[in-house]
């Protein structure tokens, strides 16, 4: 029970890696609150968790909307009394080659993947600093380390998240708040399941482990970083890709 009595907020927590992380944290004893834009998906996830004997609460939240972020996090604080861990997991893709990418596609990804991380962290940082303790975990990507064909907007957002992670680790570390980033490789989520089998086979071959990762494997990395086992880990960027970049 590495996260016993810790209040953990996970954005984009109704599906994929966010959902797996919510379940992992709850099993580790945390009080878990998931936030997502889809009320229907939140309800389905809360019900799914309950069937597994896990107590997970949910709030509708658009990380791009600063007023919504302030309101929801204030409600969570009133309900739980503190916020110990924030996992900035919410993210989207709008892929296209540079010459075909629209301004809207670029802006939407930057707004969610970058501005959303800023909005949530800036709001929670004051709470954690006042507590004298806290953990912020940012979702980057191997694309944020090496770039990727057709993902100018996504790569830009994930590179920038790494820069913010290291900056915040310097600013908040002395105040008891650790900030780290995780860079998943190709993970078997709903998003990847829509890809043709030929493409998926290529992604599997790109990993030195010969397979895709599972959301649960990324959740385990987050659980370690959120726990006191990682009490001296600050400003780290952990790649969990099966050795994709080797």
The predicted pLDDT at position 166 comes to 98
pLDDT value at 112 more than 80 = yes
**Interacting residues of 213 by C-beta distance below 8 A, sequence separation 6+:** 184, 185, 186, 187, 188, 207, 240, 241, 242
The predicted pLDDT at position 190 comes to 78
- Average pLDDT of span 108-120: 98
201: alpha, beta or left? (left if phi > 0; alpha if psi -120 to 50): alpha
Query: For the segment 79-110, what is each residue's pLDDT rounded down to a tens digit?
Result: 999 999 999 999 999 999 999 999 999 999 99
Q: Say which of 106, 154, 168, 186 is annotated catalytic.
A: 154
59 in catalytic set: no
- Average pLDDT of span 47-71: 96
Percent of all residues in the chain with a pLDDT value above 70, rounded to a whole number = 98
pLDDT value at 55 more than 70 = yes
The predicted pLDDT at position 96 comes to 96
The predicted pLDDT at position 98 comes to 98
Query: For the segment 182-217, what is each residue's pLDDT rounded down to a tens digit?
Result: 999 999 887 777 677 877 788 888 888 989 999 999
Query: For the segment 129-175, what is each residue's pLDDT rounded down to a tens digit?
Result: 999 999 999 999 999 999 999 999 999 999 999 999 999 999 999 99
The predicted pLDDT at position 93 comes to 93
- Average pLDDT of span 228-243: 97
Neighbours of 160 (CB within 10 A): 18
Alpha-carbon span 43 to 156, nearest angstrom: 32
**Interacting residues of 15 by C-beta distance below 8 A, sequence separation 6+:** 36, 41, 45, 189, 190
Neighbours of 244 (CB within 10 A): 20
Residue with tokens 């099993």: 27
- Which two structure tokens, joined as six digits, stand for 48? 């799914």
Contact present, 3 and 72 (Cβ < 8 Å): no
- Average pLDDT of span 19-35: 98
- Which two structure tokens, joined as six digits, stand for 74? 């204030």
Alpha-carbon span 61 to 80, nearest angstrom: 17
Whether the full predicted model's pTM is greater than 0.85, yes or no, is: yes
- Average pLDDT of span 29-52: 95
Neighbours of 27 (CB within 10 A): 17
- Average pLDDT of span 15-36: 97
HSE toward the beta carbon, residue 33, CA cutoff 13 A: 24
The predicted pLDDT at position 194 comes to 67
- Average pLDDT of span 59-78: 97
Contact present, 147 and 155 (Cβ < 8 Å): yes
CATH superfamily of 7-238: NAD(P)-binding Rossmann-like Domain (3.40.50.720)
Alpha-carbon span 74 to 95, nearest angstrom: 34
């Amino acid at each position: 029970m590495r996260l016993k009595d810790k209040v953990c907020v996970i954005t984009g927590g109704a599906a994929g890696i966010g959902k797996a992380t919510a379940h992992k944290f709850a099993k580790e004893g945390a009080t878990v609150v998931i936030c997502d834009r889809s009320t229907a998906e939140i309800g389905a996830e809360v019900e799914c968790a309950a069937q597994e004997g896990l107590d997970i609460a949910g709030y509708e939240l658009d990380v791009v909307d600063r007023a919504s972020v302030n309101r929801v996090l204030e409600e969570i604080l009133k309900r739980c009394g503190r916020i110990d861990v924030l996992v900035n997991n919410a993210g989207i893709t709008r892929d296209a080659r540079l010459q075909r990418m629209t301004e809207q596609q670029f802006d939407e990804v930057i707004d969610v993947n970058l501005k959303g991380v800023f909005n949530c962290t800036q709001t929670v940082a004051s709470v954690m600093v006042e507590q004298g303790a806290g953990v912020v975990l940012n979702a980057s990507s191997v694309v944020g380390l090496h770039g990727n064909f057709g993902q100018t907007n996504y790569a830009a957002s994930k590179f920038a998240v790494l820069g913010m992670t290291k900056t915040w680790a310097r600013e908040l570390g002395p105040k008891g708040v650790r900030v780290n980033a995780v860079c998943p490789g190709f993970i078997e989520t709903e998003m990847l399941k829509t890809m043709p089998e030929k493409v998926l086979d290529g992604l599997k071959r790109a990993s030195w482990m010969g397979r895709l990762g599972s959301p649960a494997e990324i959740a385990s990395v987050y659980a370690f970083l959120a726990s006191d086992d990682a009490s001296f880990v600050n400003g780290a960027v952990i790649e969990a890709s099966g050795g994709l970049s080797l």
